[in-house]
Structure 1
Amino acid sequence: MTAAPPVPALRGINYDVGTDYGSVPSRVFWHRDDVIRDLVAIRDELHCTTVNLFGTDTGRLAEAAGIARRVGLHVWVQPRLIDRPQHEVLAHLLDAARAVEQLRLEHGAVVLNIGCEWSIFSHGLIPGRSYAERAAHLGRPWSWPALPLYSRRLNRLLARAVEVARDEFHGPVTYAAGLWEQVDWRPFDLVGLNYYRLRWNRLGYARRLRKHVQHGRPVVITEFGCATFRGAAALGPAGHTILRYGPDGPYLAPGYVRDEQEQADYLHSLLDVYRAAGVAGTFVFEFAEPYKPHSADPRTDFDMSGYGIVKVLPGAPGGPLRWEPKAAFRALARVYEVS
């Protein structure tokens, strides 16, 4: 295991360079000027020290990481390959590790986050032909007795993945674990938790987090956030499910009302919990979701289903990405500025 350097009060956010989820790519167009503008805003307006860059294209990951280091941000890089066989996931990780090691040699201050919630995003760990089917399987109470089995399968894959990553990358390594995943953290330098709060885990949420912090390795909250509608806090990481897909394209489930303040209050509340628990750092999920643009018409305001703290504005196809801060952006900036 590589000795991890002391981790400062890490103030971070997740930034998607484009993830291939199958039917809906999260970011179709790539403009370097957009990325520079966004990362400078993350540094200067949000007062972040660190950005977690995630996505499928390793070229985009490397380009964005280089920009982030040049503007003075610490960088975590997390490759995401969705719904592919495990050998392809490991090959993709190997490519990313090579690119991230080159970045580390040139710029330093880089962490490799080998993956995210692989038990649902990868094949062969939980029953289901797609990540949506595997997530639905987890939501059925009769599947819960099998969670130890799923975690054993996950840990076997993680052990192989750490070996693959360390063959090429010689800096700190971590993983972003889902709430249901029982990870063996011994091969890792940092504990990474996608630690969302929602209706069913609200009671005891802070107490369970403190148990993670007591294990000895620095604990970083690799994801937390909620969507932008009334009632989103109770759904946590399932807020996106109000966006549905039909034969005529995407649509919002009826009955939901836009509420930026609920998203802002959720972030503020959890940052207080994390500070009290003594975690080493936090990454809000997430900066922007380009494939969920805002609209003044509530029937097509897809941003309501998104976790982005900026709302993406409609624009010309292929043109620059336009966005405006949401209430959560301003709330996060106030907290991070004084942290």
Structure 2
Amino acid sequence: MRDDTTGLVWKGINYDTGTNYAESGLSRKPVPSGLIRQHMAVIRNDLNCTSVNLFGTDIRRLTETAGAALDLGLHVSLQPRLIDAEPDAMLHHLAAAATATEELREQYGRVTLNVGCELTVFGSGIIPGGTHADRSVKLADPQWWPRLPEFNEKLNDLLGRARDVARAHFGGHLTYGAGLWEKVDWDGFDMVGLNYYRMAYNDADYAINLRRFRQHGKPIVITEFGCCSFDGAAEMGPAGYGIIDWTANPPRLAGSFTRNEQVQADYLSQQLELFAAERVYGAYVFEFIAPKPHSPDARYDLDMASFGVVKAIGDGWEPKAAFHELARIYRRLRDL
């Protein structure tokens, strides 16, 4: 692919089909086929998306959701996730996902394969630690930072193997969802894929650092970005989910927080305007829905710590301010 776009060809959002996070279990209960189709229709027709990034563990659920999205005319980026897996197990899972994704590509043509997400943390064998939680703690500890070059070397070795496996089974474009701390060798990929969150520490140089990825001469895709819905969430970026005390019964917020949906809406608006101006090829908001229920009692309003643009209420959902803002921006960009 050439880096010659006018910006945001893929107006996207992330959708979790169910990810097995091992010690914390499955991120979402299985979604009925009818509800999957409803969600994909909302993403296409109400949010004005042109693409959806589907991530999850079960390949059948990934491909079923992808089929529903493709039937509606959406482009699909498919990202298999096998959390805490050893490299060989991850690559075996990737091979199965690539085979299934190739079948979709042969039928529909509008499919990209994303070989993984932040594998230094979500994979085993790069940063020491038995679980992704253990590795995240180390990553946040400055005493481990001198070892980042070593970790990135191991990451690129794994990504080289992942590319070989993917290309053996899939004939379309490849990318990867890189964390802010990961230094990826993009030579073997078709697109630069970035989980590119803005927060307090990187705000000043955020746009400048984004432009540096132009050196690779490939389209840039923001595979994840977003924030939560409370005062101060924009400054926390991807760490916003951490305000929940999961040890409490029932789980509750770990402190006093003020719900503010406009914070999330403004964040998405600012980011998308920047991405369009910087000629980013695609961007995927994190995310459509998360199983963190809304409550009128602020102490138990777990949706404050959700990146979803809709809030979960019982077995249903309602749009948040970010939903309406996202729909407005994508409609405007579509009509340019």
> Structure 1 residue 218 and structure 2 residue 223: aligned?
no
The one-letter amino acid of 2:244's match is L
Supply the distance in 1 between the matched residues of 2:203 and 2:144 (Cα, whole angstroms): 21
Give the C-alpha shift of residue 244 in structure 1.
2.3
Report the equivalent of 2:179.
178
Deviations 1:22-41 (A, max 9, x none): 21321113211111111111
Supply the distance in 1 between the matched residues of 2:122 and 2:287 (Cα, whole angstroms): 18
Supply the distance in 1 between the matched residues of 2:42 and 2:272 (Cα, whole angstroms): 20
Identity %: 50
Q: SS of the residue aligned with 1:228? A: coil
The one-letter amino acid of 1:18's match is G
Supply the distance in 2 between the matched residues of 1:334 and 1:266 (Cα, whole angstroms): 14
The one-letter amino acid of 1:104's match is R
Give the C-alpha shift of residue 4 in structure 1.
7.0
Report the equivalent of 1:81.
82
> Structure 1 residue 299 and structure 2 residue 299: aligned?
yes
Report the equivalent of 1:233.
234
Report the equivalent of 1:324.
318
> Structure 1 residue 288 and structure 2 residue 283: aligned?
no
> Structure 1 residue 13 and structure 2 residue 4: aligned?
no
Supply the distance in 2 between the matched residues of 1:4 and 1:76 (Cα, whole angstroms): 18
Supply the distance in 2 between the matched residues of 1:57 and 1:202 (Cα, whole angstroms): 36
Deviations 1:225-281 (A, max 9, x none): 001111111110111111122163522111111110001111111112212222111
Alignment of 1:27-106 (within 5 A): 27-106=28-107
Judge conservation of contact 2:3–2:219 (CA < 8 Å) in 1: no
Q: How many pairs were matched up?
A: 330
Q: SS of the residue aligned with 1:25? A: coil
- Shift of the 4–103 alpha-carbon distance from structure 1 to 2, 3 Å rule, reads farther
Give the C-alpha shift of residue 143 in structure 1.
1.6
Give the C-alpha shift of residue 153 in structure 1.
0.5
Over the aligned positions, Cα root-mean-square deviation in angstroms equals 1.4
Supply the distance in 1 between the matched residues of 2:135 and 2:151 (Cα, whole angstroms): 11
Deviations 1:46-72 (A, max 9, x none): 110000000000000010111111011
TM-score for the superposition, normalised by structure 1: 0.94
TM-score for the superposition, normalised by structure 2: 0.95
Judge conservation of contact 1:78–1:115 (CA < 8 Å) in 2: yes
The runs of at least 4 consecutive aligned structure 1 residues that moved more than 6 Å come to 4-8
- Unmatched tracts of structure 1, length 5 or more: 316-321
Q: SS of the residue aligned with 1:38? A: helix
Report the equivalent of 2:272.
271
The one-letter amino acid of 1:29's match is P
- Shift of the 85–4 alpha-carbon distance from structure 1 to 2, 3 Å rule, reads farther
